[in-house]
Structure 1
Amino acid sequence: MKKALIGAVAAGLMLTASGTAVAAWGTPIPDLTSAGVRFSEGEYKLHGPTSNHGAFEWKGRLTDGNGGDGHNVYVHVRVEGHDWLKYYGKQRRSVYMHHSNWDGAQRYTSEARIRACRDRGSFHPDNCSHEQAYFQDRD
């Protein structure tokens, strides 16, 4: 009886600890919204020099908020002042994204920016959410 009770308590502690580890993956990104696009459930990590190339790692759900308009949506990410990178979603759908961005010439990413946009074609400017900027200084 005691062994069964101890085993049950140990299993409960392991499940609790693993649930806490999953829930505490990274720092939340506030919802990024603009007309026709939404990036939600976002989280990010700014890795140190010895982990994951020192990358800006991010994840979240990109949603086409106006499926009938014929426009696609994307997440725009910029690290260390380089050009913006586009990660396209799907028209009329919601997709989960998880990516890492870094500058290979540096030990870690000290500046990263992210925003969500709707691609309105070549004749109209894209509309984007406000950008979120994240910084770290490890030196």
Structure 2
Amino acid sequence: MNRTFAVSALTAGLFFAGAGAAFAGASGDVEAAASWHKISTRKSSGVSFHSGKYKWEAPGANHGAFHWKGWLKDTSAGDGHNVYVQVKAEGHDWNRFNGKQKKSVWKDYLVWAPADRYTDDARIRSCRDRGSFHPDNCSPTKHYQR
């Protein structure tokens, strides 16, 4: 009886010690992947995306997404045109996030590739919508990789 109890206690202790070490290592990886990084100001005539930050969500958390946030500003308030941010992940089409004319708006979104466990490639730019007859003008595209 005592020997069975001792073996059971030893097995449980080893199991929990291993689980604790695995959990500690995993949380360190999650923490490193989830740290925020600066996005340089993306601007073009009439539009500015500033005070931006991004992070890579951990695989299995929030789709392993490219998480970005920052201020989108219409810098030519009198021109009558709207502004927007475009973000794409893993070579998929651009996602458009509209701003407001004559205002600065806070944007905070996740973009991911649905077929992937995590996203490791993303691009971002800010643009001014100049209507049907003129092409939109956009900032240079910034490319990020995990």
By the TM > 0.5 criterion, same fold? Answer: yes
Q: Does 1:103 align with 2:105?
A: no
Q: CA deviation at 1:25?
A: 5.6
Among 18, 21, 41, the residue aligned to 1:31: 41
Q: Does 1:87 align with 2:110?
A: no
TM-score normalised by length of structure 2: 0.75
Secondary structure (helix, strand or coil) at the match of 1:98 reads strand
Q: Does 1:77 align with 2:98?
A: no
Equivalence map 1:1-139=2 (5 Å): 26-136=36-146
Gaps of 5+ in 1: 1-23
Q: Which has the higher helix share?
A: 2
TM-score normalised by length of structure 1: 0.79
Q: Once superposed, which parts of structure 1, at least 4 consecutive aligned residues long, lie more than 3 Å away?
A: none
Percent identity, aligned pairs only, is 55
Per-residue CA deviation, residues 49-104 of structure 1 (Å, 9 max, x unaligned), is 12211000000000000010000000000101011111000000000000001112
Gaps of 5+ in 2: 1-33
- Work out the number of aligned pairs and report it: 113
Q: 1:49 to 1:25 in 2, by over 3 A?
A: closer
Coordinate RMSD, CA, aligned: 1.2
Per-residue CA deviation, residues 19-68 of structure 1 (Å, 9 max, x unaligned), is xxxxx961000000100000000000112212211000000000000010
Secondary structure (helix, strand or coil) at the match of 1:60 reads strand
**Alpha-carbon distance between aligned partners in 2 of 1:101 and 1:71, rounded to the nearest angstrom:** 25
